[in-house]
Structure 1
Amino acid sequence: MNKTLGSTLIVAGTTIGGGMLAMPLTSAGIGFGFTVTLLILLWLLLSFAALLFVELYQTVESDAGIGSLAEKYYGRFGRILSTAVLLTFLYALVSAYVAGGSSLLAALLPVINDAETTSRIAGVIFTVVFGIFIVLGTSSVDKINRIIFFSKIVFFILVLFLLLPKVRLENLLEIPIDNALIISASPIFFTSFGFHGSIPSLNKYLDGNVRALRISVLAGTFIPLVAYILWQLATHGVLSQTEFLAILQQDPTLNGLITATTQITGSEMIGGAVRLFSALALITSFLGVALGLFECLEDLLKRVNAPTNRVFLGVLTFLPPLAFALFYPQGFIAALGYAGQMFAFYAIVLPIAMVWKLRKMYPNLPYQVKGGTPSLVITLIIGVFIVIVPFLIQAGYLPNVVG
């Protein structure tokens, strides 16, 4: 039960992070009602997809990675494709979180030479300090994640306590500036429930216990859904679209969110509370996603009989994201959008393809996700559509979100 609770908190902690912080940045022009509708639909979609992984893990060893799982059903091609997509997705997410962490930490550090240098130093500090827990292992991540997660909840409650009294009904009733923005924002919102890269680590940690993993998935994603709706109520209710968009056009980063909150509410206390909550949210999300990336690289190196020294794996895990943050400090939203595109393939297309074969090979498994073939087909169509959304934005068929 202790491990189940820890796994549930890792799911929730990984989920309540960068994607949540990006929501106000990308939904400022959408409106509260449509934002909540999008959240509920994506929660149902991604919880269903996560349970497909639970179903799949009944047929392999508890320490099998996604590459090993895909190879079981699609051979070497499946392993290569799934590993490549997963690595790209996880690197994009970790890059976004390092960039966001750099932005937040740099605002607290004294200026060293110039703002750019300060941001780079902040990125190194953030990566090294919290990357150490990943190198030490899942157990250390579980312990530090529990502390930070509960601290994050305290500050989240404080933020809600300060913001909710300032909510104005007219702000909540604002309609989208452009209805197509709802579609454009979907890949970024999609990552808000993106803990799926951590499922192999959780399954290994739970020793392949299907029931425990299922509980962790359902409870661990429901907590963020409730938190997201309250977060949207607070931010959309306090920040009018016109004022919010004007500030974000000048600074489409997490500091822009904090600046907007401080300026519009006129309260330094609220701005400080949002900053602390943002930092804690980023850290827990960083820990969960980086752990998944670390385990994926370990699985890959074992496959090719390469050395798997944990320090070397740590360098492989964090050097590329750190380089991204150092040379593209404004890339928080861009990295999340790209991660959403990769994540749609990894979290929806891939498990559906594997479950399709799984159910033919093992028709009588103890646990099978409900919905049958129709639910798989509908989910697949939605996943493919989310994959092509960024291309539609680049082609000019859909409007771009802030950032």
Structure 2
Amino acid sequence: MKNKTFGSTLIVAGTTIGGGMLAMPLTSAGIGFGFTMVLLVGLWLLLCFSALLFVELYQTVDSDAGIGTLAEKYYGTFGRVVSTAVLIIFLYAILSAYVSGGSSLLAAFLPTISDAETTTRIAGVLFTLLFGVFVIVGTTSVDAVNRLLFTSKILAFLLVLVLLLPKVSVENLLEMPIDNALLISASPIFFTAFGFHGSIPSLNKYLDGNVKALRISILVGTAIPLVAYILWQLATHGVLSQTEFLQILEKDPTLNGLAEAAAQITGSSIIGAVVRIFSALALITSFLGVALGLLEALDDLLKRVNIQANRATLGAMTFIPPMLFAFFYPQGFIAALGYAGQMFAFYAIVLPIAMVWKLRSQYPTLAYRVKGGKASLLTALVIGVFIVIVPFLIEQGLLPKVVG
């Protein structure tokens, strides 16, 4: 079990350190380093709290139960339908963002085929097929490849820091936000930076319902990304000024554009290459965890309506829609993450709070209960609902659009 706990911790960390992290420098361009830190720590506390609520919930069901099964237990068929729909839409949106981001990065390594657009589309197909097979095989396969990739990612990340941190400018770090309200506008996108919750059912099943092991995996697995995010923001905000950020977004608002900017501003082609490698590894590990969660969610849905599907069929249902999104919308990385953040706020905050509220009245003597009582549940609920409506406030012009 200790070995599985370690593997599960790395899956949490690997899923988390991915697309959301890579989008941070692009979406926080107008916020500044200090305010970005406030947003990061606040969202980490919120999402770690909500993840532990799922641990509390899983004490009352079988270890292989999906989120839809949990919701049905407390809110009947309506709960299952709503929770399953939101979860699947969220996972499809974020997986589409990862395939889109992966296409952009992989295309930079491929020779140009016909034209740049065609090359990017082929890169998206190759990216999905190459890494989707591990998800189709199963969680054990994902665990094994994730350990290798996660280790490589950490080494690449450390190399990025070694190359970038000496070039950090204190003046850049002290820059104030262009607009303080951008802190709120960026929250749905930053929200996904700690988004591994869709993988919790797979992890709980993998750990055979061991509450302690799942709790450790969540606490340690999210602490690792928090430290990494702070260092990543320190490096990128310190090297690139807000003006340079804005120029990047005008030219190429993709991960490849960020890598090019790091190379140009620092005058080092090595930095650009290492940033690309790190970005690719971060996307792949995140892709694996999210895809695994989506496949399990689809499996849970089909079983509920008495449809038996093999892993190959589930794999096709999991990967074809995101691949088509990347095919027809190759620069949709930021847009997909923003939409995913909106769905994720409901799934990761509103839903577990609603279920735990009923759980505690029905099971007042459970062995494990998240601290904070009703006050913490209500506070988290208000924040979660507000993040859900942020995109609507932006559309109405009540909040500024996130730069990029």
Same fold (TM over 0.5): yes
Q: Does 1:33 align with 2:27?
A: no
The answer for the alignment partner of 1:124 in structure 2 is 125
Q: Is the 8 A contact 1:252 1:402 kept in 2?
A: no
Task: Write the distance in 2 (CA, Å) between the matches of 1:402 and 1:98.
Answer: 22
The DSSP-based 3-state class of the residue aligned with 2:377 is helix
Cα deviation, 1:136-157, whole Å, max 9, x if unaligned, reads: 0000000000000000000000
Q: Is the 8 A contact 1:20 1:228 kept in 2?
A: yes
Give the partner amino acid of 2:346.
F
Q: Is the 8 A contact 1:247 1:260 kept in 2?
A: yes
The answer for the alignment partner of 1:367 in structure 2 is 368
The answer for the alignment partner of 2:24 in structure 1 is 23
Alignment of structure 1 residues 86-235 onto 2, 5 Å: 86-235=87-236
Task: Write the distance in 2 (CA, Å) between the matches of 1:241 and 1:322.
Answer: 33
Deviation at 1:399, TM superposition (A): 1.2
Alignment of structure 1 residues 180-329 onto 2, 5 Å: 180-329=181-330
Task: Write the distance in 2 (CA, Å) between the matches of 1:233 and 1:96.
Answer: 24
The answer for the alignment partner of 1:44 in structure 2 is 45
Deviation at 1:208, TM superposition (A): 0.2
Q: CA RMSD in A?
A: 0.5
Task: Write the distance in 2 (CA, Å) between the matches of 1:193 and 1:162.
Answer: 26
Give the partner amino acid of 2:345.
A
Q: Is the 8 A contact 1:27 1:35 kept in 2?
A: yes
TM-score by length of 2: 0.99
Task: Write the distance in 1 (CA, Å) between the matches of 2:157 and 2:267.
Answer: 19
Task: Write the distance in 1 (CA, Å) between the matches of 2:43 and 2:402.
Answer: 18
Give the partner amino acid of 1:257.
L
- Counting matched residue pairs gives 403
The answer for the alignment partner of 2:66 in structure 1 is 65
Task: Write the distance in 1 (CA, Å) between the matches of 2:130 and 2:390.
Answer: 36
The answer for the alignment partner of 2:84 in structure 1 is 83
Task: Write the distance in 1 (CA, Å) between the matches of 2:373 and 2:15.
Answer: 29
Task: Write the distance in 2 (CA, Å) between the matches of 1:85 and 1:360.
Answer: 25
Deviation at 1:340, TM superposition (A): 0.2
The answer for the alignment partner of 1:400 in structure 2 is 401
Deviation at 1:247, TM superposition (A): 1.6
Q: Does 1:341 align with 2:342?
A: yes
Deviation at 1:307, TM superposition (A): 2.1
Deviation at 1:387, TM superposition (A): 0.2
The 4+ residue runs of structure 1 with deviation greater than 3 A are none
The DSSP-based 3-state class of the residue aligned with 1:52 is helix
The DSSP-based 3-state class of the residue aligned with 2:186 is helix
Cα deviation, 1:329-374, whole Å, max 9, x if unaligned, reads: 0100000000000000000000000000000000000000000000
Deviation at 1:221, TM superposition (A): 0.2
Q: Is the 8 A contact 1:32 1:174 kept in 2?
A: yes
| Percentage of identical aligned residues | 78
Task: Write the distance in 2 (CA, Å) between the matches of 1:31 and 1:216.
Answer: 31
Task: Write the distance in 2 (CA, Å) between the matches of 1:243 and 1:370.
Answer: 44
Give the partner amino acid of 1:159.
V
Task: Write the distance in 2 (CA, Å) between the matches of 1:399 and 1:332.
Answer: 19
Deviation at 1:23, TM superposition (A): 0.1
Deviation at 1:402, TM superposition (A): 2.7
Can you give the 5+ residue segments of structure 2 that lack an aligned partner in the other structure? Answer: none
Deviation at 1:299, TM superposition (A): 0.6
The answer for the alignment partner of 2:357 in structure 1 is 356
Can you give the 5+ residue segments of structure 1 that lack an aligned partner in the other structure? Answer: none
The DSSP-based 3-state class of the residue aligned with 1:176 is coil
Give the partner amino acid of 1:146.
R
Task: Write the distance in 2 (CA, Å) between the matches of 1:373 and 1:245.
Answer: 43
Give the partner amino acid of 2:135.
I
Task: Write the distance in 2 (CA, Å) between the matches of 1:378 and 1:260.
Answer: 40
Deviation at 1:174, TM superposition (A): 0.3
Q: Is the 8 A contact 1:99 1:330 kept in 2?
A: yes
Task: Write the distance in 2 (CA, Å) between the matches of 1:295 and 1:243.
Answer: 42
Cα deviation, 1:99-157, whole Å, max 9, x if unaligned, reads: 00000001110111111110110000000000000000000000000000000000000
Give the partner amino acid of 1:127.
T
